[in-house]
């Protein structure tokens, strides 16, 4: 058994830091750069486009952070997916006025919800979304928590898309090199533990609920990314 055979969850430093902490601000800036380097905006836009039969009118992102990843996804999709109402959920309230304005410039309506993902998804609300996305988020959870998160998401959407760290030696090596990009200590720690908590093979498909007919796809994309999508089959 190698070090990466099984998932290992270690708390991420960024999750424990106050939003305005200097190291947290630096780490979120690093995250924006790392998402760009890994091309997660293009990857997420591609997975959503491939999974949607028609352009969504409503979308939800889980663990959306400062919203800049979804903004870059929106820039790619807006020419063919106009006037999407996108809801960004995160435990922290991180979106700037500039990001909000940039969504508006694209013609997308953006709403933020500051809440824990479980509280939001299991609330007695009947809100449903044409698509739900998660970027670098699902790896925070394992076991029963991961399965119940995915089951709650499945009840609220016919299309779920995730881009997560790939649990592989090359990705781990990459996470150890980000000092060369001047990433701070928080980012260096969190990048490594994210890979160790990341996914491979069919791990997300196996955690997805089985009570309805879903078309599931799961694969590596590039050296660092593990992609999962679930589309409810139309009967
Ligand atoms: C690694 S960051 C990714 C942010 C964003 N998706 C991106 O790619 O830039 C993970 C985010 O998940 C949020 N988060 C972690 N646990 C959460 C929970 N239980 N409920 C809601 N948000 C959570 C954190 O606040 C953080 O913004």
Report CA(140)–ligand 1 centroid distance (Å).
8
- Mean pLDDT over all residues of the chain? 96
In a domain, 18, yes or no: no
Q: How far is CA 221 from CA 38, 162, 171, 172, 180, in A?
A: 9, 12, 11, 15, 23
What are the DSSP calls for 99-137, one per residue? HHHHHHHHT-EEEEEES-HHHHHTSS-----SEEEEES-
Q: Are 32 and 136 in contact (CB under 8 A)?
A: no
Measured in angstroms, how far is the CA atom of residue 124 from the centroid of ligand 1? 22
35 lines ligand 1 (CB under 6 A): yes
Question: What is the distance between the alpha carbons of residues 210 and 154, in angstroms, rounded to a whole number?
Answer: 10
Q: Is 69 in the pocket of ligand 1 (CB under 6 A)?
A: yes
Q: Convert the pLDDT of each residue in 62-121 to its tens digit.
A: 999 999 999 999 999 999 999 999 999 999 999 999 999 999 999 999 999 999 999 999
Q: Are strands 85-90 and 109-114 parallel, antiparallel or unpaired?
A: parallel
Q: What is the CATH number of the domain that holds 144?
A: 3.40.50.150
pLDDT at 14: 96
- pLDDT tens, position by position, 107-122: 999 999 999 999 999 8
Residue 49, domain extent: 24-232
Q: Is residue 52 part of a domain?
A: yes
Does residue 13 form part of some domain?
no
- Amino acid 15: pLDDT: 95
For the Cβ of 225 lying below 6 angstroms from any atom of ligand 1, the answer is: no
Considering the domain boundaries, does residue 183 fall inside one? Answer: yes
Q: How far, in Å, is the centroid of ligand 1 from the Cα of 235?
A: 34
Q: How many domains does the chain have?
A: 1
Q: Measured from the CB, is residue 15 less than 6 Å from ligand 1?
A: yes
Please compute the mean of the pLDDT values over residues 135-157 and round it to a whole number.
97
Beta-strand relationship, 159-165 and 214-221: unpaired
Query: What's the 186 CA to ligand 1 centre distance in angstroms?
Result: 15
> Would 136 be classed as within a structural domain?
yes
CA separation for the pair 152, 167 (Å, rounded): 25
Q: Is 125 left (phi over 0), alpha (psi -120 to 50) or beta?
A: beta
Ligand 1 close to Cβ of residue 38 (< 6 A)? no
Rounded to two decimals, the pTM is 0.97
The alpha carbon of residue 180 and the mean position of all alpha carbons in its chain are separated, in whole angstroms, by: 25
Q: What percent of the chain has pLDDT over 70?
A: 99
Ligand 1 within 6 A of 29 CB? Answer: no
For ligand 1, is residue 13 a contact (CB within 6 Å)?
A: no
Is the distance from the beta carbon of residue 64 to the nearest atom of ligand 1 less than 6 Å? yes
């Amino acid at each position: 058994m190698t070090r990466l055979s099984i998932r290992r969850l270690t708390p991420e430093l960024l999750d424990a830091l106050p939003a305005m902490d200097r190291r947290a601000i630096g780490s979120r800036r690093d995250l924006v750069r790392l998402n760009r380097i890994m091309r997660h905006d293009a990857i997420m836009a591609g997975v959503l486009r491939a999974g949607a039969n028609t352009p969504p009118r409503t979308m939800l992102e889980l663990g959306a952070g400062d919203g800049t990843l979804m903004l870059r996804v929106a820039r790619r999709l807006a020419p063919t997916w106009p006037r999407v109402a996108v809801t960004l959920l995160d435990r922290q309230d991180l979106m700037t006025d500039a990001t909000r304005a940039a969504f508006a410039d694209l013609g997308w309506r953006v709403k933020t919800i500051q809440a824990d993902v479980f509280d939001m998804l299991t609330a007695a609300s009947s809100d449903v979304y044409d698509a739900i996305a998660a970027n670098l988020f699902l790896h925070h959870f394992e076991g029963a928590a991961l399965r119940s998160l995915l089951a709650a998401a499945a009840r609220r959407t016919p299309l779920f898309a995730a881009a997560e760290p790939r649990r592989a030696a090359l990705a781990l090596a990459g996470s150890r090199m980000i000092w060369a990009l001047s990433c701070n200590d928080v980012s260096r720690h969190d990048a490594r533990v994210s890979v160790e908590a990341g996914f491979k093979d069919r791990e997300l498909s196996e955690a997805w609920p089985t009570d309805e007919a879903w078309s599931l796809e799961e694969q590596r994309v590039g050296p660092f990314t593990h992609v999962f999508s679930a589309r409810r089959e139309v009967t």
